[in-house]
């Protein structure tokens, strides 16, 4: 049995998927989500905030 088949079988068992297609589909979703999260994490520290900005000011009723 090849390494990829063993990995697919193991992922199917761990994920509780019935088919190889369901396993691969879930793996792709997780891969995409992780890549999006990595791009967001790269943005941390790049946005400059105004220290005088009051985020609760708009919530107050006049």
pLDDT score, position 44: 87
Crossing angle for the helix pair 3-15 and 20-42, to the nearest 10 degrees = 80
As a whole number of angstroms, the distance between CA 29 and CA 47 comes to 28
pLDDT digits (tens, 9 = 90+) for 18-41: 999 999 999 999 999 999 999 999
Give the global pTM: 0.64
- Show me where the domains of the chain are located: 3-42
pLDDT(48) > 90: no
CA distances from 23 to 36, 40, 43 (A): 20, 26, 31
């Amino acid at each position: 049995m090849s390494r990829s088949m063993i990995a697919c079988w193991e992922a199917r068992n761990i994920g509780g998927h019935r088919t190889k297609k369901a396993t691969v589909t879930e793996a792709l979703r997780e891969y995409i989500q992780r890549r999006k999260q990595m791009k967001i994490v790269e943005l941390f520290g790049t946005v400059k905030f105004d220290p005088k900005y009051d985020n609760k000011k708009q919530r107050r009723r006049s």
